[in-house]
Amino acid sequence: MAKPAAIAKIKLQYFRSKICTPTKHKLVIKGLGFTRLNQIVEREDTPSVRGMVAKVPHLVRVVE
């Protein structure tokens, strides 16, 4: 059996608070899976995740 191709991952850090941001930005942060400030999560590197990060570049940074 052939092994499936490795899925590319991206590490994201939530570094600035979502207080006083529009509701849509808060929902994007929640959708990415962040619950705490300075938290780092690892997500699949897909166009949908990249698009979510592009909507809130002032709140989230790509690590590595």
For residue 41, the cross-strand partners are 12
Q: What digits encode the pLDDT tens for the residues 43-64?
A: 999 999 999 999 999 999 999 8
CATH class of 9-63: alpha beta
Contacts by 35-43 with C-beta closer than 8 Å and gap 24+?
38/13, 38/14, 39/13, 39/14, 40/11, 40/12, 40/13, 40/14, 41/11, 41/12, 41/14, 42/9, 42/10, 42/11, 42/12, 43/9, 43/10, 43/12
pTM (predicted TM-score): 0.88
Specify the pLDDT at position 36. Answer: 97
33 SS3 class:
coil
Q: Where are the domains of the chain?
A: 9-63
- Rounded to the nearest integer, the mean pLDDT of the chain is 94
Q: What digits encode the pLDDT tens for the residues 15-43?
A: 999 999 999 999 999 999 999 999 999 99
